């Protein structure tokens, strides 16, 4: 069954710990945390101290998505703060192989993310060493964007490239009950959803609705 990873980018930041607890109780499988530096993407979110502060509110895996120009300087801090997955962008200013090695050194699962216009074949050299690929179905940086359908072709192609390797495919951006079935059919293992879940009256119904659409 597909896993659901609510994105805290759309949560109520005034009570983030309670939001993490509520979403965990509502049936989420992972917690997705978007970390933005104002350079790689034109927005700022939060840092390791916030991740550390909300870590006690859930036993679910934390999937920390680093939308940073230079993530190497922050990997250790997020590992210590409680990340389980640390995902960096293929398009960052640093060598992905070095970043993957750094993540693994801290005992965390390593992910690579690609923006909508990035050729999926650029991931091939790194597939033997990663645990997750995050396919962006919107331009990273802001929640509430419309789903870009070309992401589905990337997921299909990626599934073929991965073959029998134990790599999860996650898709992020514009995921809702209308787009979720196509994501699952294409081969996604994890659906990252922010606006749809956190704007719903019932987090549990929102999550269940996404799972029922596969």
Residue pLDDT, tens place only, 91-116? 999 999 999 999 999 999 999 999 99
Which tokens sit at 39?
């350079």
User: Residue 214 pLDDT > 70, yes or no?
Assistant: no
- Kindly state the tokens that stand for 107: 């005992």
The pLDDT mean for the chain works out to 94
84 a catalytic residue: no
* DSSP H/E element including 185: helix 180-186
Percent of the chain residues topping a pLDDT of 90: 87
Q: Which residue has the higher pLDDT, 164 or 127?
A: 127
The confidence score (pLDDT) of residue 53 equals 97
Residue 34 designated active-site: yes
Q: In this predicted model, what pLDDT tens digit does every residue of 55-85 receive, in sequence order? A: 999 999 999 999 999 999 999 999 999 999 9
CA angle at 11 for the pair 49 and 60, rounded to the nearest 5°: 65
- What pLDDT was estimated at residue 44? 87
Q: Residue 101 sits in a domain of what CATH number?
A: 3.20.20.70
- The domain tally of the chain equals 1
The pLDDT > 70 percentage for the chain reads 97
**pLDDT at residue 142 in the model:** 66
DSSP structure class, residue 129: G
Q: Is the pLDDT of residue 177 over 80?
A: yes
Tell me what pLDDT residue 29 has.
98
Domain residue limits at 177: 3-212
Distance CA 61, CA 108 (A): 11
Q: Which of 29, 63, 131, 172 is catalytic?
A: 172
Segment 31-41 shows an average pLDDT of 91
pLDDT, position 37: 86
Tens digit of each residue's pLDDT (9 = 90 or more) over 117-159? 999 999 999 999 999 999 999 988 666 678 899 999 999 999 9
The residue annotated as part of the active site, out of 34, 63, 131, 189, is 34
- Long-range contacts of residues 203-210, Cβ cutoff 8 Å, at least 24 apart: 203/6, 203/22, 203/23, 203/26, 203/27, 203/28, 204/25, 204/26, 204/27, 206/26, 207/4, 207/6, 207/26, 207/27, 207/28, 208/27, 209/177, 210/2, 210/4, 210/175, 210/176, 210/177, 210/180
């Amino acid at each position: 069954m597909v896993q659901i990873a609510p994105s805290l980018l759309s949560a109520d930041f005034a009570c983030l710990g309670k939001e993490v607890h509520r979403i965990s109780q509502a049936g989420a499988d992972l917690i997705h945390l978007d970390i933005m530096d104002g350079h790689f993407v034109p927005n700022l979110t939060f840092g390791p101290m916030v991740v550390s502060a909300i870590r006690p509110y859930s036993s679910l895996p934390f999937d920390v998505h680093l939308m940073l120009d230079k993530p190497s300087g922050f990997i250790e801090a997020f590992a210590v703060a409680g990340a389980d997955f640390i995902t960096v962008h293929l398009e960052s200013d640093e060598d992905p192989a070095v970043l993957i090695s750094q993540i693994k050194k801290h005992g965390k699962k390593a992910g690579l993310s690609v923006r909508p216009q990035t050729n999926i074949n650029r991931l091939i050299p790194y597939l033997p060493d990663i645990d997750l690929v995050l396919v962006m179905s919107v331009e990273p940086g802001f929640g509430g964007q419309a789903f870009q359908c070309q992401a589905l072709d990337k997921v299909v192609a990626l599934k073929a490239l991965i073959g029998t390797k134990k790599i999860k495919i996650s898709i992020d951006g514009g995921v809702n009950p209308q787009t979720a079935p196509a994501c699952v059919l294409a081969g996604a293992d994890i659906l990252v959803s922010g606006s749809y879940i956190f704007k719903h009256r019932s987090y549990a119904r929102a999550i269940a609705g996404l799972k029922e659409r596969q």
